[in-house]
Amino acid sequence: MTTPLDLFPITTRVDAGGRLWLGGCLAGDLAREFGTPLYVYDAETLRARMREARSALEGYPGPHRLAYAGKAFLCLGLAQILQCEGLDLDVTSAGEMAVARAAGFAPQRVHLHGNSKSTAELSEALDWGIGTIVVDNLHELELLRRLTAGRSARQRVWLRVAPGIDVHTHPHRKTGLLDSKFGFTLETGAAADALRQALAMAGLQVVGLHAHIGSQVFQPEPFARATALLLDLAASVGFAPQELSPGGGWGAATSPEEADLPLAAYGEAIARAAVERCARHRLPLPTLVIELGRAIVGPAGVALYRVRSRKEIPGGRTYLCLDGGMGDNIRPALYGARYTALAADRAAAAPEEVVTLAGRFCESGDIIARDVPLPRLEAEDLIAVPRAGAYCLAMSSNYNLVPRPAVVIVRDGKAVLLQRRETAADLLARDLPLPPDWSP
Ligand code: LLP
C-alpha cells in the first residue's frame, strides 16, 4: 500500500524527532528562510525521473529522444537543468520560448506547440531557428506558407493529429478525440489532406507526425494505438516520417489512492507499436520523441504551507485553513485531483484526526486535500504536500491579488532560490493610475 511518505521525493527522510528533510534540508528551516507557501523541488528526484524517462525507450531499436513539456512547470533554473541533461523542450507560447532562450537552449532542440499560435509567435520561432513547429490546423499551415516564403531554410514541422482515441482521464485532459480543439482529425480525412498539403509546401519540411491523446493517463495501450494510427496515416499518404511523437501524458500519482506505473510500460508500448507498424508498412524506423511533463516534475515538487487556523464543525468536518490554496494549486478544484499531506515537524506521529486542508482564497471549492489523516495541528504548524511539482505553479493565478509563492531547489543540504516570492509591488507593476483629466 502506498503511504503519504512514499509520494515524497527520493531524498526525503524523517529524523528521530519526526522532522521532515528534503534534499538534505530541514523542511522547517526552508519554510523559515524562504517563507510559505513554498514550492521545493528536489534535484535528485528530477534527475532520476529524467533518466527513467530517457530509458523508457531503451528497447526501441531506432533512435529516440526525450522532450520535457514546459507547460507542466518552467522557470529559468529548471530550463538550465533540462538543457544540461540533454532533453529537448516543448514550448507552447512566446513566454515559454523566452525562458528557453534565456536558459541558452539550442533552438534546434525546441518544439513549438499550440492550437492557437499567433503570427508574432510563429515569426519569432522562425527567426530564432526553432527546431520544430507542430502545426495544429489549416489556418496555421497557411500562415506558415506565407511566413516562410522567401526564407532560405525550410522550416521543419510535425503535423498534430487527433487520432480519435479515448483515454481514461478527466474530460478536461482528453485531447485526442474527434470532438477536440487540437489537431487534424484522423477519422474525417482532414489529417491526410493536411499532410498532403504540407508536403507540397516549398517553405516547409514535414519531418514527422505528432499526437497527444491526454494527460494523467495510467494505461500504456492508448499510446500504442496512437503510435500505430500515426504510422497508418503516414503509410496511407506514402510519407515516411523521420520523426514520430506520440506525445506525453504518462500519469504520476498524487495521492495514496493512485498508483504509479513504471515509465518503461509507456515506452515499451510505444516502441512495440512503432516496430510492428513500420514492418507492416515497410517504413524505416523513425526517431521516436516522447514529451513528458508531469512524470518528470510532478514527483520532484513538494508544497509547504503553514496552518493559519482550525475550524471544527461539531458533527462535521475539521478544516485546517492554510496560507496558500487554489492560487498556487487549482488542480483539486478544476479536476477533482486528490492530494495528501504530512505534518512537516511531526511526520512520524500517528494520525489523531481526519481533516480537510482548505485554501485561503475566497471560494468554497478552494480545497487542497480532503480527508487527510494527521496528528492534531494548530496555527503555525507546517504542512507538506507531496507530488506538487506539475501543473500547480504552472497554472497559478493572482486571484484575490495574493502574490505567488517562491520556488527553491534542494540538493545535498543546500537550497537555492529559483523564483522569489511575488510582492505587492509586482502585482501593481502593470497598473496605471487614471489620468487627472479622467472624470469618474
Ligand atoms: N505534449 C503536449 C502536446 C501536451 O499538450 C501535453 C500536456 C504534454 C505533452 C505533457 O503532458 P504530461 O506528460 O505532462 O501529462 N493541466 C492539466 C494537464 C494538462 C496537460 C496539457 N498538455 C493537469 O493539471 O492535470
The alpha carbon of 326 and the centre of ligand 1 are apart by a number of angstroms equal to 19
Handedness of CA 411, 413, 418, 419 (dihedral sign): positive
The alpha carbon of 394 and the centre of ligand 1 are apart by a number of angstroms equal to 11
Q: Which residues contact 352 (CB under 8 A, 6 or more apart)?
A: 374, 375, 376
CB atoms within 10 A of CB 227: 29
Q: Of 92, 96, 215, 270, which is best to mutate to test ligand 1, by the most ligand atoms within 8 angstroms of its C-beta? A: 215
Q: Indicate if ligand 1 lies below 6 Å from the C-beta of 92.
A: no
The residue whose C-alpha atom lies closest to atom 11 belonging to ligand 1 is: 249
Tens of pLDDT, residues 194-213 = 999 999 999 999 999 999 99
Q: Indicate if ligand 1 lies below 6 Å from the C-beta of 339.
A: no
Q: Indicate if ligand 1 lies below 6 Å from the C-beta of 294.
A: yes
Does residue 286 contact residue 245 with C-beta atoms inside 8 Å?
A: no
The residue whose C-alpha atom lies closest to atom 21 belonging to ligand 1 is: 215
Q: Indicate if ligand 1 lies below 6 Å from the C-beta of 156.
A: no
Q: Of 294, 328, 395, 396, which is best to mutate to test ligand 1, by the most ligand atoms within 8 angstroms of its C-beta? A: 294
Q: Listing from the earlier edge strand, what are the strands of the sheet with 25-26? A: 13-14, 20-22, 25-26
Q: Indicate if ligand 1 lies below 6 Å from the C-beta of 69.
A: yes
Q: Which atom of ligand 1 is nearest to the CA of 395?
A: 16
Q: In 140-273, where do the E strands start and end?
A: 155-162, 184-185, 204-210, 243-245
pLDDT number for residue 434: 96
The whole-number average pLDDT for the span 28-32 is: 98
pLDDT number for residue 439: 83
pLDDT number for residue 87: 98
Q: Indicate if ligand 1 lies below 6 Å from the C-beta of 216.
A: yes
User: How does strand 204-210 pair with strand 243-245?
Assistant: parallel
Does residue 357 contact residue 386 with C-beta atoms inside 8 Å?
A: no
pLDDT number for residue 179: 79
Q: Which residues contact 25 (CB under 8 A, 6 or more apart)?
A: 40, 410, 413, 414, 415
Tens of pLDDT, residues 63-96 = 999 999 999 999 999 999 999 999 999 999 999 9
Q: Which residue type occupies 347? A: A
Q: Of 52, 71, 78, 88, which is best to mutate to test ligand 1, by the most ligand atoms within 8 angstroms of its C-beta? A: 71
Check whether 426 has a pLDDT greater than 80: yes
The whole-number average pLDDT for the span 319-347 is: 98
The whole-number average pLDDT for the span 242-261 is: 96
Q: Which atom of ligand 1 is nearest to the CA of 249?
A: 15
pLDDT number for residue 178: 73
For the annotated catalytic residues, the residue numbers are 362
Q: Indicate if ligand 1 lies below 6 Å from the C-beta of 223.
A: no
Q: Indicate if ligand 1 lies below 6 Å from the C-beta of 247.
A: yes
Does pTM top 0.95 for this prediction? Answer: yes
172 pLDDT band, cuts 50/70/90, is confident
Q: Domains in the chain, start-ordered, CATH in brackets?
A: 4-42+299-428 (2.40.37.10), 43-298 (3.20.20.10)
Q: Which atom of ligand 1 is nearest to the CA of 331?
A: 24
The alpha carbon of 248 and the centre of ligand 1 are apart by a number of angstroms equal to 7
The residue whose C-alpha atom lies closest to atom 15 belonging to ligand 1 is: 249
pLDDT number for residue 237: 98
Q: Indicate if ligand 1 lies below 6 Å from the C-beta of 173.
A: yes
pLDDT number for residue 1: 77
Tens of pLDDT, residues 119-160 = 999 999 999 999 999 999 999 999 999 999 999 999 999 999
Does residue 195 contact residue 159 with C-beta atoms inside 8 Å?
A: yes
Q: How many helices (H) and strands (E) does the chain have?
A: 12, 21
Instruction: Name beta bridge partners: 387.
Output: none
Taking the C-alpha atoms of residue 294 and residue 244, their distance in angstroms, rounded to an integer, is 20
Buried b or exposed e, range 130-152, using 16+ CB within 10 angstroms: bbbbbbbbeebbebbbebbeeee
pLDDT number for residue 2: 86
The residue whose C-alpha atom lies closest to atom 8 belonging to ligand 1 is: 248
Taking the C-alpha atoms of residue 1 and residue 371, their distance in angstroms, rounded to an integer, is 17
41 pLDDT band, cuts 50/70/90, is very high
Taking the C-alpha atoms of residue 169 and residue 335, their distance in angstroms, rounded to an integer, is 10
- Burial of 318 (C-beta count, 10 Å sphere; 0-12/13-18/19+): middle
Q: Indicate if ligand 1 lies below 6 Å from the C-beta of 291.
A: yes
Tens of pLDDT, residues 281-327 = 999 999 999 999 999 999 999 999 999 999 999 999 999 999 999 99
Closest residue by Cα to residue 70 from 125, 111, 37, 102? 111
- The grid coordinates listed for 163 are 487520432
Q: Indicate if ligand 1 lies below 6 Å from the C-beta of 212.
A: yes
Q: What is the mean pLDDT of the chain?
A: 97
389 pLDDT band, cuts 50/70/90, is very high
The alpha carbon of 79 and the centre of ligand 1 are apart by a number of angstroms equal to 17
Does residue 115 contact residue 182 with C-beta atoms inside 8 Å?
A: yes
The residue whose C-alpha atom lies closest to atom 6 belonging to ligand 1 is: 248
